Structure 1
Amino acid sequence: MYKIYPKTLFIGQIVKYLPSCQSTNDEASTLIAEGDPTEGTLVVTDNQTAGRGQRGNVWEAKSAQNLTFSLILKPSFLSATEQFWLNMAISLGIYDTLSSLIGSDLRIKWPNDIYVGNRKLGGILIENILHGYSIAWSVAGIGLNINQTEFTYPTATSLQQEAPLPENYDLPGILSSLSEKIEARYLQLRANQRENVKVNYLQTLYRYQQEATFESNGETFRGSIAGVDALGRLAIAVGGELRYFGFKEVSFVND
């Protein structure tokens, strides 16, 4: 059972704990469909059997060693075309929590993966329910590798691998801190302090303004990330021109 006591107004004040489930995002969506859940409710599980990631990937995590949860939000102050602001705020909340534990190699990889160096520590999948031109509900699924140290993929890492402790990290304690840091960023967004959010996001962005190799629609090219536009598209400077790419339209090629 997860008992956390975050110093927040609403995020993490209500926690629905499930020892096992297929997907915390699905469980959170069911809560929305069945009624009017309190904003900030967390759905947490020790064992997610069918977690989803960006690009249709499956999220792999060993039971009771990591953090797998979904956050229910009501960002009605955001229009349907402003969904990426929420991605930036939540990614930054996670970054704010982990940066004091890991250090300078921590980065946010566009659009919303958490990397240490060139290895993935976590990911975010945000699913929105629209009402007219506004976002009525958002479900932010978050998976973070905390105490797991063995992975199928060599590109995966964890907090315990990057900053080892003699004893495992306290999962409820980290979840409490995440609730506080994500809420601070969310309130910053709600107060219309968007420029600060975007500047901070770019400052922490993986390979920002660094020459790299990318692939899009079978084309491989060199370029550097120049920013993110209002729709959340990645701007890449290629040969003196800016090219814009949406989700799933571009990927890094390992140099």
Structure 2
Amino acid sequence: VIQHLVISTGQQLPFLQYVVALSVVQAVQLLCARVPQAKSFDLKVKWPNDLYVGELKVGGVLCNSSYRDGQFLVAMGVGLNVSNREPTTCINAALGCTDPTDDPVTSEALLAEILNRLDANLATFTREGFLPMKASYLANWLHSGQRVMLEEGDQT
């Protein structure tokens, strides 16, 4: 998928990863809400780029950027464990599905929903920046209400 965005400064680039992660979370929420009798679960963003169900990682988001000929080029990647219950868990297992041959959430449906959400969120980001999505991102952020420690080398 190729998307051309107009990004005026490099200061906006880190937010693209947040937009992608939020789009994935929103897509999973929308699809899972349509599954009758599904167990409720929260897919959360563990900063900066991991996706967790409870304490188990089910995916991640990576964005890589370069600057060439006066413009930023960004490659966005998403890995999400939809149906493989190993090595941790997957979206369908988190929903409470016990029969892997009858998983209600398919990779194809999830990809379509992620791209729909990403398209809408990137349009908002291009027009208005990250601020309109900030509250939704923080509501889906694993670290809300937590105390975190950042380390760099031997400094904390």
TM over 0.5, yes or no? yes
State the 1:85 CA deviation: 1.6
Q: Report what 1:189 is aligned to.
A: 125
* Aligned equivalents of 2:152, 2:29: Cα separation in 1: 31
1:79, 1:133 within 8 Å by CA — same for their partners in 2? Answer: no
What amino acid sits opposite 2:62 in the alignment? L
SS of residue paired to 1:211? coil
Q: Report what 1:209 is aligned to.
A: 145
Q: Aligned in 2, Cα 1:192/1:107: closer, same or farther, shift over 3 Å?
A: same
Q: Report what 1:12 is aligned to.
A: none
Q: Report what 1:160 is aligned to.
A: 92
**Structure 1 spans left out of the alignment, 5+ residues:** 1-40, 42-71, 221-255
Pairing 1:88–2:15 present: no
Q: Report what 2:61 is aligned to.
A: 124
Equivalent of 1:142 in 73, 78, 86:
78
Q: Summarize deviations over 1:3-32 as a string: whole Å, max 9, x none.
A: xxxxxxxxxxxxxxxxxxxxxxxxxxxxxx
Q: Aligned in 2, Cα 1:195/1:188: closer, same or farther, shift over 3 Å?
A: same
Q: Aligned in 2, Cα 1:126/1:207: closer, same or farther, shift over 3 Å?
A: same
Please identify which structure carries the higher helix content.
2
| TM-score using structure 1 length | 0.51
Query: Identity of aligned pairs, percent?
Result: 21
Q: Report what 1:236 is aligned to.
A: none
| TM-score using structure 2 length | 0.79
Higher-Rg member (1/2): 1
Q: Aligned in 2, Cα 1:216/1:117: closer, same or farther, shift over 3 Å?
A: farther
Please identify which structure carries the higher strand content.
1
Q: Summarize deviations over 1:121-144 as a string: whole Å, max 9, x none.
A: 111111113136642x21111100
Q: Aligned in 2, Cα 1:202/1:158: closer, same or farther, shift over 3 Å?
A: same
**Structure with more relative contact order (C-alpha pairs < 8 Å, separation 6 or more):** 2
State the 1:204 CA deviation: 1.5
Q: Report what 2:36 is aligned to.
A: none
